[in-house]
Structure 1
Amino acid sequence: MTSQLSAVLGAPAPGAVPQLRSITIQRPAMSEHGLLDYVIRDDSLVWSRRGEGTVGFGQVARFEASGPERFAEARAWWDAVAAASEVEDNVNQAGTGLIAYGTFAFSFSSSYVSRLIVPRIVVGRNDACSWITYTVSDPAAELSVEAAEAELAALLEDYSPEHELGTGIDRLVAGQISEESYLESVRKGVSVIESGSITKLVLARDAVAELGSPIAVAQVLRQLALRYSDCWTYSVDGLIGATPEMLVRVRGDIAEARVLAGTLDRATAPSGDADYAHRMLLEDEKQRHEHQLAIDSLTEQLGPLSSGMDAPDEPFVLQLPNVWHLASDVKATLAARADGSVPSMLDLAEVFHPTAAVCGTPTKAAGVILRELEGMDRGPYAGPVGWIDTRGNGEFGIALRGGVIESPTSIRLYAGCGIVAASDPAAELAESWAKMRPMREALGL
């Protein structure tokens, strides 16, 4: 296990807790495009859905950790940063004031370093207002809305170039797991499930997109946000994508999660059959069983932390451009602890991760088998990605339908499928390609 603090732009030396100063001011209403007007730089930090969310620029502090204590170390660092910082928040809503974007490795054994990043400038929008947050680490720096707007204007003038799609130069190549290896892993997974040791296993695979010119990250993010408006578009330090699944969202003492398990590829659907998705998902025993396992896992973990919970008896069909999913939204009132506080975002992210929807059931046993059968390091794939503020609020999605940028011209894509006793290896391989489709299309592949 390792832990490291690093900071830039005049922030304290590694190992120290930065003493930041931050100001948040309400701004005029944004255009009809919302936050997409600000997603024009490849190095931006992004969390957005339906034109709302935040876009971050620059970096004033950074935390990194790996190993089984990565969540606890991140929580301790963030609490120390919040206590040491001077925050003037004139908007006082979830996501205003001092925030950090974060991404965490799926496994404690991963070589991927989990991280929290505090941006210098944040532009935000919700259903009530728009705002700008400006944060500095230099005690002599001017902290004002004028300074913030001037710096933001300069950043937006230096926008990133776009990439010409469909040139024929770009290609998709095998990653750590070939198609044949994945088929064999699924066959072995079904055998393990039939033995009775677990009831579900989520097996993932990867592929590498190699482009003829540098990846136009901002362009990819805009494509994802426009095509997959019901998903949460994210970009944190080279991890990009658009996830349909919310691990946990916290507002005060209310926690919410969106659980997805059960998938149907829209590309194979017959035309003119209006009831196809309903019949193939809601009336299919395998799909319903897989979904119920995920719901049961979440409610079992959330129950001891809550004083009340609303978990629907019936899922709904979530329609996305590439697939249909069985989905359920779970909401709970968090129970106060002995000191009067309620669990924070990082508390809940650690408790909920990994979910049955991305690991298996039971999760601990499935995780051990997964590491044996999958044959790859997932890195941040299927780990928590999102943001936190200093009041315990935040949103962490599950890093799905995305990839990790490994060089200026290459990005590793990931997809996983829930395996149960009735799973067919060829069908699961096809489903994995369907789940990579959002990124493939956004990259022009």
Structure 2
Amino acid sequence: MSNPSPVAVATPLQQAPALRSITFERGDLQLDTGLLDYVVRSDVHTWIRRGGGMVGFGEAARFTTAGPDRFSQAQAWWREIVAAADVVDPVSQPGTGLASFGSFAFSKTSRHLSRLIVPRIIVGCVEGRSWLTYITDDGGAELSASAAEAELASYLDGVEPERKPCPADRLAPGILTEEQWMTAVSRGVAHIRAGELTKLVLARDVVAELGSPISTAQVLRELAVRYSDCWTYSVDGLIGSTPEMLIKVENQTARARVLAGTLDRSTAPAGEAGYAERVLAGSEKQQHEHEIAIDSLTHQLEPFTRTMTSHSEPFVLELPNVWHLASDVSAELAVDDDGNVPSSLALVEALHPTAAVCGTPTTVAGELIRELEHLERGPYAGPVGWMDAKGNGEWGIALRGAVVETPTRVRMYAGCGIVEASQPVAELAETWSKFRPMIEALGLRTPFRP
């Protein structure tokens, strides 16, 4: 079997255009809505958490690639872009000045195009304080606050109408049926018991077939409001709200949030205090899965750091649909012989794929994923986020999300960490709990009941 959605072949390394950009400070945004007031179009690029982050409009430049060198090729192109650019950035904060949004395929064997996109307009916000960046490839364009505001206004004129649920809306099976996927889980457990690996992450898909066109902006606003502690992302039709930060770089500091271990809130007994802590923290299976994930990340990050700290014990992250075991990691990045620190995208290349989305060892797990899933993951579980000209950036893992394949067809993905103690029925239930954010944001209902 193969994914029916179209895939594209990578293009040769594209020539970097000469860009000009200017950033202006703006006033405070509304605390209750923040950047959500700017999420009004289906083609908007977003990175939003708790009302702050970045929203991008239009396209000044684009780079696409595929294959095992996708990260290094993207970095090379971005360095060329930055070197050739004329940047005026009096604000000089992470995310200001020249910046790009990006998403990368999960697998080095995928034909799905990884991409970096430089918008024409970026509205950014941190703690209520906002800025506006105007980027152009037109050497004669006026770079002024009034020109930037006029360009932004032209995009805001294209407000997308909201969508109401339609009787024709339905959920359709993905590449594998539920029974076939549970068989894949059983086979994965057999490989683990045979000693070939210690953890395997298996994903599945379902398809929302809509009776009327999706309102992508509406879905993003729903996700951002319901899952305010997650990072709501949108890059070129890849949308979602991820609870997992792969890496965040601000100047010389890197941070990550690792999740492994999941408990569906819909199955929790009402009014039982400490239920999530008792079940998650008291579960040898969940603790083992989490330990594998955190060890994987810290081992890969260590060569780039001077110091690194993480929680001695994971904490329980509470989301509207599930509880997770979570650990936050922070590190001071090492300076190389030339006085440079690694960029956020360089760290992405070193860290991806983590055990949280692939398994351990990753090489063995990756081969089994291709054998058992029968699924072209595309950008699902790949890095998604942004980076600026100074190497700062935030890159999450594209989880709790979907790909908008057509205006009426949306493919959703969810995966589970499989260890020796995994039970196929329980893992199936976990996928439905992870599908729930996107299903509900689309105005549909989750069909699975444990």
Preserved CA contact (<8 Å) 1:387 1:395:
yes
Q: Give CA-to-partner distance per residue, 1:228-285, whole Å, 9 cap, x none.
A: 0000000000000000000000001111000000000001101011111011101110
1:4 has 2:4 as partner: no
Tell me the CA shift for residue 323 of structure 1: 0.2
- How many aligned positions are there? 436
Aligned to 1:136: 136
What is the Cα deviation at residue 381 of structure 1? Answer: 0.2
Deviation at 1:69, TM superposition (A): 0.4
CA deviation vs aligned residue, 1:31-67 (integer Å, no higher than 9, x gap):
1210011111111000000000010000010000000
Q: Which residue of 1 aligns with 2:448?
A: none
Rounded Cα–Cα distance in structure 2 between residues aligned with 1:314 and 1:351: 25
Partner of 2:447: none
In the alignment, which residue of structure 1 is the partner of 2:89? 89
Residue identity in the other structure for 2:210: L
The answer for the alignment partner of 1:42 in structure 2 is: 42
Contact kept? 2:14, 2:77, Cα under 8 Å? no
- Would the aligned equivalents of 2:402 and 2:412 in 1 still touch at CA under 8 Å? yes
Distance in 2 between residues matched to 1:38 and 1:437, nearest whole Å: 25
SS in 2 for 1:214: coil
Q: How big is the shift at 1:15? A: 3.1
- With 206-215 and 336-345 compared, the bigger mean Cα shift is at 336-345
**Residue 358 to residue 411, structure 1, CA distance change in 2 (3 Å):** same
1:157 paired residue number: 157
Matched AA of 2:185: V
Secondary structure at the aligned position of 2:346 is classed as helix
Inter-partner Cα distance in structure 1 for 2:411 and 2:208: 6
- Decide whether the 8 Å contact of 1:413 with 1:436 is kept in 2: yes
Farther-moved stretch of structure 1 (135-144 vs 427-436): 135-144
The alignment status of 1:227 with 2:226, answered yes or no, reads: yes
2:163 maps to amino acid:
H
d(CA) in 2 for partners of 1:338, 1:195 = 45
Secondary structure at the counterpart of residue 297 of structure 1: helix
Inter-partner Cα distance in structure 2 for 1:330 and 1:399:
19
Aligned-pair CA distance for 1:129: 2.1
What corresponds to 1:397 in structure 2?
A: 396
CA deviations 1:87-113 (Å, max 9, x no partner) are: 000210000000000000000111210
8 Å contact from structure 1 (residues 381, 400) kept in 2: yes
Query: 1:253 & 1:133 partners in 2: Cα distance?
Result: 23
Contact residue 2 and residue 67 of structure 1 kept, 8 A? no
Paired with 1:199 and 1:348, the residues of 2 have a C-alpha distance of: 25
Distance, in Å, in 2 between the alignment partners of 1:381 and 1:194 is 27
* 1:138-180 deviations in Å (ceiling 9; x for gaps): 1111111101101212221220111003x33211101112111
Q: What's the secondary structure of 1:184's corresponding residue?
A: helix
The corresponding residue for 1:59 is: 59
Matches within 5 A, 1:200-279: 200-279=199-278
Distance 1:376 1:157 in 2: 39
Q: Is residue 16 from structure 1 mapped to residue 15 from structure 2 by the alignment?
A: yes
How far the C-alpha of 1:436 sits from its partner, in A, is 0.4
SS in 1 for 2:255: strand
**Is residue 415 of structure 1 aligned with residue 414 of structure 2?**
yes
- Superimposed CA distance per residue, residues 356-415 of structure 1 (whole angstroms, 9 cap, x where no aligned partner): 000001112211111111111100000000000000100000000000010111110000
1:108 equivalent to 2:108? Answer yes
| SS of aligned partner of 2:390 | coil
Matched residue of 1:431: which SS? helix
Once the two structures are superposed, the pairs formed by residues 297-316 of structure 1 within 5 Å of their partners are: 297-316=296-315
8 A Cα contact 1:2 1:66, kept in partner: yes
> Contact 1:311–1:329 at 8 Å: present in 2 too?
yes
Is contact 2:223–2:241 with CA below 8 Å preserved after alignment?
Answer: yes
Report the equivalent of 2:369. Answer: 370
SS of aligned partner of 1:42: coil
Distance 1:2 1:213, change over 3 A: closer
| Residue of structure 2 in register with 1:11 after alignment | none
TM-score by length of 2: 0.95
Q: Which residue of 2 aligns with 1:185?
A: 184
> Is 2:339 the counterpart of 1:340?
yes
CA distance in 1, matches of 2:412, 2:438: 8
User: Please, which moves more after superposition, 354-363 or 368-377?
Assistant: 368-377
CA distance in 2, matches of 1:270, 1:129: 42
**Counterpart-to-counterpart distance in 2, 1:46 and 1:298:** 26
Identity of aligned residues (%): 61
CA distance in 2, matches of 1:398, 1:280: 25
Q: Work out the CA distance in 2 between the residues paired with 1:26 and 1:422.
A: 53
Distance 2:357 2:400 in 1: 12
> 1:9 matched to which residue of 2?
none
Structure 2 unmatched ranges of 5 or more = 1-7, 445-450
**Partner Cα separation in structure 2 for residue 319 and residue 15 of structure 1:** 43
The Cα shift of 1:3 comes to 4.8
Q: Determine helix, strand or coil for the equivalent of 1:347.
A: helix
Supply the AA of the counterpart residue of 1:36. L
- Which amino acid letter does the alignment assign opposite residue 427 of structure 1? A
1:4 Cα deviation (Å)? 3.1
Matched to 1:58, the amino acid is: G
Alpha-carbon separation, structure 2, partners of 1:299 and 1:119 = 33
Q: TM-score, normalised by structure 1?
A: 0.96
1:2 deviation in Å? 6.3
What are the ranges of 5 or more consecutive residues in structure 1 without an aligned counterpart? 6-13
**Distance between the aligned counterparts of 1:313 and 1:373, measured in 2?**
34
- Cα deviation per residue 1:204-250 (whole Å; 9 max; x = unaligned)? 00001010111100000000000000000000000000000000000
TM-aligned CA deviation for residue 341 of structure 1:
0.8
Q: CA RMSD in A?
A: 1.2
